[in-house]
Amino acid sequence: MTRLAIAGIMHESNTFSDTPTDAAAFSQTHASNMIKRWEEAHHELSGFIQGATQYDYTIYPTFMATATPAGRVTDDVFDRMTEMLIQHLKAAPKHEGLLLALHGAMVVESYPDGDGEVLRRLRDAFGSDFPIVVTLDQHANVSEQMVDKSTALVIYKTTPHIDQRQRGRQAAELMMRILREEITPTQALAKPPMLLNILYHVTSAPPMVPILNAAKQLEEDPNILVANVALGYPYADVHEAGPAFVVVTDDDPQLAQMEADRLSDMLWNARGQLTVDLPNAAQAVEQAIHSEKHPVILVEMGDNIGGGSPGDSTFILAELQRQGASGFVGVIHDPEAVQSCIQAGVGGRVSLEVGGKADNLHGDPVSIHGDVRLIHDGRYIETQPRHGGQRYHDQGLTAVVVVGDSLVALTSLRQPPFSLQQLYSLGIDPTEMRMIVVKAAVAYRAAYEPIAGQIIEVDTPGLTAVNPLHFEYQNVRRPLFPLD
């Protein structure tokens, strides 16, 4: 029976962040635990695993390494991970191909195109004929190298990402058709000269809807194997930053290039719609206080944890206090404050300075006074398809402090708001709150949109500020919309 190796190395690197992503930042699943941990998730690895039954292959698990988005990946951990992958594959019993989950926006200290470098090393070790089908996050900054060194790329089609398992299965199916010699994939890349603002990364809204519909329509053509739409990750200052279109055809390079160019033109021609006009923290909180539709979701765009920021921004919290807002809940990453709560104990009174500690970009610490309601180990499970596709979550030791009739949850690990279980596990019912602050841009929507009374996106400063003009880009292609 056909045997396929499966592996994952995933990181989205914010090059404006000074927090390096080192070995300690990566959480690894080893071969022996890989199937158990990922099989039931909504991740592309789950698709690789589940595909075995559907497409009749056996799995050779290697390892999966993933870290919460932050600064560049260190050379040290990158070299170790790629070496481990190559060693695993060399030690494997006979296997015919590799299903590999990459992110596509990993930047390594010495390699701006980290994902392309993984593939280059694999090609060096195993030659150009070894089939490697790669899944990428829709925030990938796709490079020429990724296209050249992979057999085929399969990119998520949804943001928030809720189709990851499906894409994993699509990759598996493609691999099996390649091995049966039914198809010979050839792929072409097109990149419009632009960055796509994170506000427009919602695939259920314009301008992405018609473009994704066109891509899906292309896949109905039997000569077109995959029509990929990547949104890009604007917080990586690298040559390949920006949206990309990769069309994979069955041995028809001209068709691949023509259709990739056509999709690329669709986005380029929509650039006039990509305006950014959001309220600041003071305006947004005022709107939220007067809203009659609860809960109001206040989206702190400048501290989008899933985009690599510290998770301890205080701009909205400070404003909520200043304007005397009530009934809000916010989560702040502050391990020091968690320790103070543990010392005070459940029911204890605390006076804390929370947040604003990671750097000087995300506001000053804010004074809160209240009672510790709960101390929790921070672990929770999400069973639904949510952004990121993970089942097991860990926000580290967590304390909930009651401040007036509002709640502040303090976590020991940075945790993006991809799951309502983040709050439910702490005994907080988000549907009963008047306001919820989420540190995110788009990804939170899969969890929060169904319960939201109103959503207010807030233009706050920070490492993921919504306006790209806040950043000094040095390595991107020029000219580039909207910078030039």
Token pair, residue 236, equals 């990586």
# of chain residues touching Zn ion (CB under 5 A)? 2
Using CB under 5 A as the criterion, what x/- string covers residues 429-468 for binding Zn ion? Answer: ----------------------------------------
Least distance CB 220 / Zn ion (angstroms):
26
Q: Which is nearer to Zn ion, 55 or 235 (CB)?
A: 235
* Footprint on residues 301-330 left by Zn ion (CB under 5 A): none
Q: Which is nearer to Zn ion, 42 or 357 (CB)?
A: 42
Residue type, 197: N
Q: What is the DSSP string of 37-96?
A: HHTTSSSHHHHHHHHHHHHT-EEEEEEEEE--SBSPBPHHHHHHHHHHHHHHHHHSSS--
Q: Which is nearer to Zn ion, 139 or 333 (CB)?
A: 139
Of the ranges 129-137, 198-206, 337-345, 361-369, which one interacts with Zn ion (CB under 5 A)? Answer: 129-137
* Footprint on residues 32-91 left by Zn ion (CB under 5 A): none
Angle at 129 between CA 260 and CA 215, to 5 degrees: 20
Pick the closest to residue 130 from 103, 102, 150 (CA basis). 150
Least distance CB 477 / Zn ion (angstroms):
21
Q: Which is nearer to Zn ion, 11 or 139 (CB)?
A: 139
Q: Which is nearer to Zn ion, 137 or 334 (CB)?
A: 137
Which stretches of 89-199 are assigned E, i.e. beta strand?
97-102, 132-136, 152-155, 185-190
Cα separation, 426 vs 354, whole angstroms: 19
Least distance CB 137 / Zn ion (angstroms):
4
Q: Which is nearer to Zn ion, 196 or 320 (CB)?
A: 196
Least distance CB 12 / Zn ion (angstroms):
6
Query: What SS3 state is found at 130?
Result: coil
Cβ–Cβ < 8 Å for 341, 372: yes
Q: Which is nearer to Zn ion, 141 or 313 (CB)?
A: 141
Closest residue to bound Zn ion by CB: 139
Least distance CB 251 / Zn ion (angstroms):
31
Cα separation, 310 vs 365, whole angstroms: 13
Strand arrangement, sheet containing 185-190: 185-190, 244-250, 224-230
Q: State whether the Cα torsion 137-140-144-146 is positive or negative.
A: negative
Cα separation, 14 vs 17, whole angstroms: 6
Cα separation, 237 vs 104, whole angstroms: 14
* Footprint on residues 130-189 left by Zn ion (CB under 5 A): 137, 139
Least distance CB 26 / Zn ion (angstroms):
17
Q: Which is nearer to Zn ion, 137 or 459 (CB)?
A: 137
Cα separation, 164 vs 128, whole angstroms: 27
Q: Which is nearer to Zn ion, 191 or 357 (CB)?
A: 191
Least distance CB 448 / Zn ion (angstroms):
17
Cα separation, 48 vs 39, whole angstroms: 9
Least distance CB 160 / Zn ion (angstroms):
8
Least distance CB 149 / Zn ion (angstroms):
21
Q: Which is nearer to Zn ion, 306 or 330 (CB)?
A: 306
Q: State whether the Cα torsion 348-351-357-362 is positive or negative.
A: positive
Least distance CB 482 / Zn ion (angstroms):
21
Find the helix or strand (DSSP H, E) in which 407 lies.
strand 406-411
**Under the rule (CB under 5 A), what is the footprint of Zn ion?**
137, 139
